[in-house]
Amino acid sequence: MASQYFSLQNLRFLLHEVFRVSELSKITRFEDYEADAIDLVLDAAKQIGDQYLYPIHREMDKNKAYFEDGQVHTLPGLNKAIQAIAEGGWINAHLDGADGGQQMPLTVMNAGLFIFYAANSNAAPYAFLTQGAANLIHQFGSAPLKDVYLDKMYSGTWQGTMALTEPQAGSSLSDLTSTAQPGPDGDYLIQGQKIYISGGDYSGVENIVHLTLARIEGAPAGTHGISLFVVPKFLVKEGRLVSNNVTTAGIYGKMGQRGYTAAHLMLGEQGPCKGYLVGAPNKGLSYMFNLMNEARIGTGNLATGTASAAFYASLQYANERPQGRHPGQKDPTSPQEIIIEHADVRRMLLFQKSVVEGSLALVIQASLWADLAENSSGEEAENAHLLLELITPIVKSYPSEQGNYAVSAGMQVLGGAGYTDDFPLEQYYRDIRVNSIYEGTTTIHGMDLLGRKLMVEKGKALKLFMGLVQQEIQAAETNDALSAICQQLASGAKGLHQTTMSLMKLASEKGPQYFLADATLYLEAFSIVTIGWLWLKQLRVAETVLAQGQLSEADLDFYRGKKLCGEYFFAYDFLKIQPLLQRLSNQDGLTVDMESSWIN
């Protein structure tokens, strides 16, 4: 039996009691997704997690992927796991029934993905990277492209990737230099190097389809000259697969996620490498951002999953390990306490729980907005879209950044044991760290939030968001048990709003460099208010259920734990908004008005 890596009860609590996701079934496309159906979906995901994913997580790390004789070697269990996910109908679950899908809401799908990611952050990403790549072809590709690629990709037979990064172009995509030379048949010859390509090569996969950014000869410089191409590892010729000269130069030795390969690819170095244009020329980056936005929620979800698995591993240890006595207990012959009885161990566990459950609420909220943006209409759809755009940098970065600290706290619960590979914490610590880098570093997302998202439609998204926070406070503050927390959140939200206004003034007075200098801190402050709002939502439900009474022992523990954890968040971590807002109000330009040579 797999150890616990997530809480099904908490996932159901969020989906049903907090977010009432089954109300999506009022939308015709989602009419099958009533509460019971959602629960079945979760059970099915857990089964795949238990059976195929969790059991190989540590093996994928200990026997890490390696590159030898031009081949990438991974474990056979990986291919079986991807196949199990595909056969469960997960890769194309969101497609229309007519296209072979299940018309699954993204909210439900991301709940399933959370389970997969918690079970195995090294294996599950392969499948959902393929999904993202296939979606681009599905959405923007020509009919012939769809014919050749979609079935193979949605069935998990062929892998998909995003091939963006180049040696000279990491965060700065406008500096991409891979080239596409128009060929005689309407296709292109691609040349260039792509680095850090996740899922870019591994054993036993039939074909790999790289959704590749490159410049068509003569295209304008910068982001407006980038086009999107399908560049397969193998071309299909007369029913047979033949090399397309996509060569793997090697894979990266990553600190974590060692089973999830990241390849260095040479395109067209050893012979002609064909690429097929997706959509219109020079529109590649805007297409890719469709996938990137999904991938950003995916990264937040991945970090949440890893933090969840780490939390349950450390909770198990804390419930089993005897060590030490309470302060004041001086009798050395008294039995040792189980360490969960120690206040500081509890604090570290509550911190982890607050990060995991706050992050998961965030992922679900974002997914719900994505469903509404695409499947409702009028103002509801428009507002959902604006809120989703606003919140995406936070969904990407809060679970990643706080997840690092949460897993570190999990390791600390185990003490010396946590630092050794006798326990999984050290792997989770290494695995989760990459999420602060994937799909744009935290800095990039701070700049995206403050420099771009807040400006859209004259700040309408921020107004909508602040309105939701106020609305939740109004709904909760009549409950005496929540009034102090409501005040705390209101004051934090007000501080954030004032800081935002003062930063806007700075932007107009001193320009973008001063304005954006501390964007990373702004992102963190915004995250604290967002997570505070999501905890208040959860607390309000928990208080209501507890007031109704008549709960089983297990349910009592669950709702009391939920209440305790929300209270923990406000008593400890919400307070951290203060120094952030204080720093942001000090617009001294400390990191702008200086010489680089002073850092020595």
Scan residues 243-282 and list those touching a second copy (CB under 8 A): 252-256, 262
Residues labelled catalytic: 439
Q: Is 594 in the site for a second copy (CB under 8 A)?
A: yes
What does DSSP say about strands 246-251 and 262-267: parallel, antiparallel, or unpaired? Answer: antiparallel
CA angle 161, 290, 102 (to 5 degrees): 80
Report 542-581 residues binding a second copy (CB under 8 A).
Answer: 557-558, 560-561, 564-565, 567-568, 571-572, 575-576, 578-579
The least distance separating a second copy from the CB of residue 542, rounded to whole angstroms, comes to 11
Which candidate, 288, 219, 261, places its Cα nearest to that of 434? Answer: 261
Q: How many residues bind a second copy (CB under 8 A)?
A: 105
514 Cα distance to chain centroid: 29
Distance in Å, CB of 92 to a second copy, minimum:
30
Choosing from 42, 84, 211, 349, the residue that interacts with a second copy (CB under 8 A) is: 349
Nearer to a second copy, 150 or 411 (CB): 411
The answer to the question of residue 28 lying near a second copy (CB under 8 A) is no
| Pairing relationship of beta strands 179-182 and 71-73 according to DSSP bridges | unpaired
Please give the Cα distance from 13 to 534 (Å, whole number): 13
Task: Please identify which residue in 28, 143, 237, 333 interacts with a second copy, judged by CB under 8 A.
Answer: 333
Residues 16, 29, 146, 346: which binds a second copy (CB under 8 A)? Answer: 346
| Interacting positions 178-197 with a second copy (CB under 8 A) | 195-196
Is residue 498 part of the contact set for a second copy (CB under 8 A)? no
Q: Within a 10 A sphere around the Cβ of 264, how many other Cβ atoms?
A: 19
* Contacts (CB under 8 A) with a second copy, residues 394-423: 404, 408, 411-412, 415-416, 418-422
Cα dihedral sign for 287, 192, 201, 186?
A: positive
Of 132, 90, 114, 98, give the one whose Cα is nearest residue 29. 98
Residues 109/102, Cβ–Cβ less than 8 Å: no
591 binding a second copy? (CB under 8 A): yes
Contact (CB, 8 A) for 479 and 540: yes
* Contact (CB, 8 A) for 291 and 133: yes
Q: Tell me: does residue 535 bind a second copy (CB under 8 A).
A: no
The answer to whether residues 228 and 284 touch, using CB atoms and an 8 Å cutoff, is yes
Contact stretch for a second copy (CB under 8 A) within 145-153, 241-249, 475-483, 585-593 = 585-593
The single residue listed with the structure tokens 């951290």 is 576
- 268 DSSP β-pair partners: none
- Judged by beta carbon, residue 276 or residue 311, the one nearer a second copy is 311
Q: List the interface residues with a second copy, window 45-74 (CB under 8 A).
A: none
Choices 91-99, 104-112, 319-327, 374-382; region in contact with a second copy by CB under 8 A: 319-327
441 is a contact residue toward a second copy (CB under 8 A) = yes
**Cβ nearer to a second copy, comparing 18 with 370:** 18
| Three-state DSSP class for residue 189 | strand
d(CA 486, CA 479): 10
φ, ψ of residue 125 in degrees (nearest 5): -60, -30
Cα angle at 386 between 460 and 473, to 5 degrees? 70
- Select the residue interacting with a second copy from 76, 144, 272, 512 (CB under 8 A): 512
Binding status of residue 502 toward a second copy by CB under 8 A? no
Among 127, 136, 517, 531, binds a second copy (CB under 8 A): 517
CB count within 10 Å of CB 154 equals: 26
Rounded to the nearest angstrom, the gap between the alpha carbon of residue 96 and the centroid of all alpha carbons in its chain is 24
Asked if residue 451 binds a second copy (CB under 8 A), the reply is: yes
Residue 338 as a binder of a second copy (CB under 8 A): the answer is yes
Piece in contact with a second copy (CB under 8 A), picked from 34-42, 150-158, 168-176, 380-388: 168-176
- Residue 158 CA to residue 127 CA, distance in Å, equals 10
What's the min distance (Å) between Cβ of 398 and a second copy?
16
Q: How far is the CB of 365 from a second copy (least distance, A)?
A: 23
Q: Is 505 or 576 the residue whose CB approaches a second copy more closely?
A: 576
| Listed residue (374, 379, 310) closest to 348, CA to CA | 310
User: Which residue's CB is nearer to a second copy, number 404 or number 530?
Assistant: 404
C-alpha closest to that of 116 among 306, 376, 296: 306
429 binds a second copy (CB under 8 A): yes
Residue 578 C-beta: closest distance to a second copy, Å:
5
- Which residues, at least 6 apart from 85, have a Cβ–Cβ distance to it below 8 Å? 48, 52, 91, 116, 124, 127, 156
Verify binding: residue 595, a second copy, rule CB under 8 A: yes
Does 90 engage in binding with a second copy (CB under 8 A)? no
Closest contact distance (angstroms) between CB of 96 and a second copy is: 36
Contact between 341 and a second copy (CB under 8 A)? yes
In the set 80, 146, 283, 325, which binds a second copy (CB under 8 A)? 325
Closest separation in Å from C-beta 294 to a second copy: 20
Q: What Rg, from alpha-carbon coordinates, does the chain have? A: 25
Contacts of residue 319, Cβ cutoff 8 Å, sequence gap at least 6: 338, 340
Choices 69-77, 123-131, 199-207, 316-324 (CB under 8 A): range interacting with a second copy: 316-324
Hey, is 88 helix, strand or coil? coil
Nearest residue (CB) to a second copy, 28 versus 600? 600
What token pair was written down for 96?
């229309």
Q: Which of 434, 462, 493, 506 binds a second copy (CB under 8 A)?
A: 434
